[in-house]
Amino acid sequence: MNTRSIARACTVMESRGAASAALLRELFPQSGRAHVVGITGPPGAGKSTLVAAMVEELRRRGQRVAVIAVDPSSPFTGGAILGDRIRMLQFHDDPDVFIRSMATRGAMGGLAPATHDVALVLDAAGFDTILLETVGVGQDEVDVARLAHTTVVVLAPGMGDDVQAIKAGILEIADLFVINKADQDGAARLQREMSEWDVPICLTVATRAEGVAPVVDAVAGLKGKADPVRHWVHRLRQMYAEHALARLDSGVVEEAARRVAGRECDPYTIIEGWLRV
Amino acid sequence: MNTRSIARACTVMESRGAASAALLRELFPQSGRAHVVGITGPPGAGKSTLVAAMVEELRRRGQRVAVIAVDPSSPFTGGAILGDRIRMLQFHDDPDVFIRSMATRGAMGGLAPATHDVALVLDAAGFDTILLETVGVGQDEVDVARLAHTTVVVLAPGMGDDVQAIKAGILEIADLFVINKADQDGAARLQREMSEWDVPICLTVATRAEGVAPVVDAVAGLKGKADPVRHWVHRLRQMYAEHALARLDSGVVEEAARRVAGRECDPYTIIEGWLRV
């Protein structure tokens, strides 16, 4: 597959139509070789810079690398965040680096399935490592990160108490912590704080590519520890919910919503009826 | 229903079992009167302080008020965020104020349905306004906010570029913007920025209860504009996904995941089989 046909296949996956299911079925037997690595953490931790530095390091090791950047901003105000990705342009002429930006969708469970299907395309296309960068925090990011084989949580010192909540939400899915901006005040304190959890920690200054090779080593070491069965349990449940919802006729849902809103019928009776079909 | 039986009913809803469906069916005909108001926005905007001030104002107007505080932190590090809620203790002796904290769940779609069911219990219990406070950003918060009749997005000046992404994610669901900490530098600039969107804006200094009465007025004015049919379309789809997933036997999913991980079978064939049942 050349870059153009890979990009086309990714677009098919994002469309979530019948064509995507057919293409996935065709590509599935060729997948299963890539290491899908989620890179997540709060805004401002330096994820994009770290991802760019990791791509450079992986290329130095002869790997083919793909990046899926999941962007929570709408098309209206996405400029600032897209700007972060400009540094990725350095890989523009390298056919062994493929970069794809994905926007979040409003529809329930819409992002994680599309992201996973794009990763499967890139896996089948022969990329060795697929870096899945998610911006921000929340259930959506957790869902996306769950679909990765290995999850790296990037933090930086001096982000205040707000980081508490963020850390809490992603602690349970972290396989590796990276404390980026490790040359800044508070890095040692953050490291002490994070060492309470039974997760390895790497220190980086991604803007200068410092500490990035050890991150790539640690990630490679985690590949063998990933549990593909657990991964597919999540994925199958998610696919099932997505496909079940896709079968609901929107007119039927609208009419049912009208009756429930008018208290003509309770929602539980309606759901039971749908599940009996 | 007294405070104790309401709290018990909320616990039943959080358990998501058969008892919750039976209780919901029983309570449903008594619901539909309350105004469910989502209060969301980035950490540090002062949502909890605003909610406390709104409760005071609503009590002054003779309303019975319930608060559902959705907390994204795990039990391990929840302390800091729970501390924010200590100010709510002032309502401890008031039987017409009911406060419930809910933790986010790891399970897909787990939080929004439970939150909505708790809101339905409080609606049936006769609370006039239900304030649904969600901390943080992300799909999860959007899902919870979608279930509210009216959504208030709270912002504060000086939160940096990170707020861009946050604003973008919640812009489409906002019925009202509140710029809190309006006495701080940058409030006017933030107001100018937000005025680009066709959404009314209120300015508050919640710590001094300044500007809170106009927020309560604006929220009350939005009650009539809420679309209960659209609300139930989202809710029925979410319930359907939740109940469909609940019917999947975990042993069956585990076995299928094992076969897919071993490339014995593709996931699309498995999902089709499940949907045919």
Task: Say yes or no for a CB contact (<8 Å) between B43 and A261.
Answer: no
Tokens in use for A75?
Answer: 């098309």
CA distance B194 to A76: 13
pLDDT of residue A197: 82
**Angstrom distances, CA of residue B98 to CA of A81, B79, B106:** 40, 21, 26
Give the number of other Cβ atoms within 10 Å of residue A60's Cβ: 10
Q: What is the mean pLDDT of residues B81-89?
A: 54
Same domain, yes or no: A268 and A144: no
Which carries the bigger pLDDT value, residue B18 or residue A209?
A: A209
Same domain, yes or no: A251 and A219: no
Task: Say yes or no for a CB contact (<8 Å) between A109 and B108.
Answer: yes
Q: Model confidence over A115-171: pLDDT tens digits?
A: 889 999 999 999 999 999 886 555 666 677 777 899 998 989 977 555 555 555 666
Residue A28 scores a pLDDT above 80? yes
**Cβ(A180)–Cβ(A212) under 8 Å?**
no
Query: Residue A240 falls within a domain, yes or no?
Result: no
Query: Residue B152 falls within a domain, yes or no?
Result: yes
Q: Is the ipTM reported for this complex over the cut 0.90?
A: no
pLDDT of residue A230: 87
Residue B158 scores a pLDDT above 80? no
CA distance B145 to B151: 6
CA distance A222 to A218: 6
SS3 of A98-138: the string is EEEEEECCCCCCCHHHHHHHHHHHHHHCCCCEEEEEECECC
Same domain, yes or no: A131 and A40: yes
Same domain, yes or no: A167 and A218: yes
pLDDT of residue A73: 44
Query: Residue A235 falls within a domain, yes or no?
Result: no
Same domain, yes or no: A211 and A263: no
* pLDDT band, very low/low/confident/very high, at B230 (cuts 50, 70, 90): confident
Q: Which candidate from B140, B232, B266 shows the least CB-CB separation from A260?
A: B232
Same domain, yes or no: B17 and B153: yes
Same domain, yes or no: B72 and B181: yes
- Integer-rounded Cα Rg, in Å, for chain A is 20
To the nearest whole angstrom, how far is the Cα of B261 from the nearest Cα of chain A? 6
**Cβ(B175)–Cβ(B230) under 8 Å?**
no
* pLDDT band, very low/low/confident/very high, at A9 (cuts 50, 70, 90): very high
Query: Residue B107 falls within a domain, yes or no?
Result: yes
* Residues contacting residue B35 through CB under 8 Å, at least 6 positions apart: B128, B129, B130, B149, B150, B219, B220, B223, B226
Beta bridge partners of B210: B205
**Cβ(A27)–Cβ(A124) under 8 Å?**
yes
Query: Residue B235 falls within a domain, yes or no?
Result: no
CA distance B208 to B85: 17
Which of chain A's residues have a Cβ under 8 Å away from the Cβ of B244?
240-241, 244, 275
Same domain, yes or no: A52 and A17: yes
What's the CATH number where A216 sits? Answer: 3.40.50.300
Q: Is B33 on the interface with A (CB under 8 A)?
A: no
Same domain, yes or no: B77 and B178: yes
Judged by phi (left if over 0) then psi (alpha if -120 to 50, else beta), residue B41 lies in left
To the nearest whole angstrom, how far is the Cα of B207 from the nearest Cα of chain A? 19
Same domain, yes or no: A63 and A197: yes
Query: Residue B134 falls within a domain, yes or no?
Result: yes
Which of chain B's residues have a Cβ under 8 Å away from the Cβ of A263?
28-29, 32
Query: Residue A131 falls within a domain, yes or no?
Result: yes
Query: Residue B260 falls within a domain, yes or no?
Result: yes
* Residues contacting residue B51 through CB under 8 Å, at least 6 positions apart: B39, B67, B69, B88, B131, B133
Residue A85 scores a pLDDT above 70? no
Give the number of other Cβ atoms within 10 Å of residue B191's Cβ: 16
Q: Model confidence over B175-220: pLDDT tens digits?
A: 999 999 999 999 999 899 888 888 999 999 999 999 999 999 999 9
Same domain, yes or no: A149 and A272: no
CA distance B14 to B117: 8
Q: What is the mean pLDDT of residues A62-89?
A: 61
Q: Which candidate from B162, B229, B233 shows the least CB-CB separation from A44?
A: B162
pLDDT of residue A70: 79
**Cβ(B147)–Cβ(B36) under 8 Å?**
yes
Residue A81 scores a pLDDT above 50? no
Task: Say yes or no for a CB contact (<8 Å) between A141 and B138.
Answer: yes
Task: Say yes or no for a CB contact (<8 Å) between A165 and B263.
Answer: no
Instruction: State which residues form the domain around A53.
Output: 3-226
DSSP symbols for B54-95: HHHHHHHTT--EEEEEEE-S-TTTTHHHHHHGGGGGGGTT-T
Task: Say yes or no for a CB contact (<8 Å) between B29 and A263.
Answer: yes
Residue A78 scores a pLDDT above 50? no
Please give the tally of structural domains in chain B: 2
Same domain, yes or no: A166 and A71: yes
Kindly tell me the sign of the dihedral angle through the C-alpha atoms of B10, B11, B13, B18: negative
Q: Model confidence over B94-150: pLDDT tens digits?
A: 889 998 887 655 444 456 778 889 999 999 999 999 999 886 555 566 677 777 899
Residue A95 scores a pLDDT above 50? yes
- What residues 251-270 of chain B have any CB closer than 8 A to a CB of chain A? 253-254, 256-258, 260-261, 263, 266-270
DSSP symbols for B176-218: EEEE-STTSTTHHHHHHHHTTSSS-EEE-BGGGTBTHHHHHHH
CA atoms lying within 13 Å on the CB side of residue B100: 27
pLDDT of residue A150: 92
Task: Say yes or no for a CB contact (<8 Å) between A229 and B258.
Answer: yes
CA distance A147 to A119: 10
